[in-house]
Structure 1
Amino acid sequence: MLKTICYISDAARPLDYNIKDNIYLKAKSNNTINNITGVLVYKNSNFLQVLEGEEEVVDSVYKKISSDPRHDNLFKVINTNIDERIFEDYNFGFTIINEKADLKNLYEYLEWLKLGHNKIANEVIGMVENFIEN
């Protein structure tokens, strides 16, 4: 069964470029290996991540994240089973948002997804849009 988790958190300390780059590379690698799709956004010392995949795998990945000392105030915003992945067709599965151009592309993809009128997808879209716009 497929599942999605969307969480937000504060960075435990300000991230310099090398640390942030390391987090991105590790997330991309681990999520690709685990067939996790989704998106990771770091903005204003906060993270937002959407994880999609097999239920056991998503739960396991989230458990590891919840014990990661680089996160403070981790809050699971969405935790539900899904019929299909939202980000499977976006930028080859799992995406790191690191530049303004990436944000623009993500926003355009989210606008396109809204046309599908999927309730869960629209909840996730709303969370991501709110995070990137504020």
Structure 2
Amino acid sequence: MIASLLYASTAAEGLDSADVFKIVEDSSRRNPARDVTGFLIFDGSQFLQYVEGPQEALDGLLDVLNHDRRHHSVRVLHRAESEQRLFPRWAMRRAGATAEQELDTIRTARLPVGMMAEIDRFGTRRRAA
């Protein structure tokens, strides 16, 4: 079984686009060794991230995330398990307002309903800002 989780967090004061690209770059490099895949959405002040992989790897990643000073107030929104990965080729993909191909892929994936509702809600808030 593949575990997955969706979490939200608040960006640290002064975090900019270069910092977010560095997060994605570092995650893309480290996640294959962790056997973790997923995506990150950033709206300028909030992160929403979906990750999937072995449960132990996700638990370890959450511990790292809870100590990362680039964001705070990490909240796990949903957890799920599935037979297979939904994003096997995404070591870590940034899905922002200009990443329509990635956002379309996310919309057509078979994410659990609760996760997709959170992603849609996040996208609605991002467009309203």
* TM-score scaled by length of structure 1: 0.79
Q: Could you tell me how far apart the structure 1 residues matched to 2:31 and 2:124 are?
A: 25
- Matched residue SS, 1:31: helix
Cα deviation code 1:8-67 (max 9, x no counterpart): 000121312332222121121122332211111111311111110011111111111011
- One-letter amino acid matched to 1:29: R
Could you tell me whether the CA contact under 8 Å between 1:107 and 1:129 is conserved in 2? no
Distance 2:22 2:107 in 1: 30
Identity of aligned pairs, percent? 21
Gaps of 5+ in 2: none
* Gaps in structure 1 of 5+ consecutive residues: 115-119
Do 1:8 and 1:77's aligned partners in 2 also have CA atoms closer than 8 Å? yes
Match of 1:110 in 2: 106
The offset of 1:68, in angstroms, is 1.0
Aligned to 2:28: 28
- The runs of at least 4 consecutive aligned structure 1 residues that moved more than 4 Å come to none
How many residue pairs are counted as aligned between the two chains?
A: 124
| TM-score, normalization by structure 2 | 0.82
Encode CA deviations 1:41-98: one digit per residue, 9 max, x unaligned.
111311111110011111111111011122221110012333222222xxx2231224
**Root-mean-square deviation (CA), in Å?**
1.9
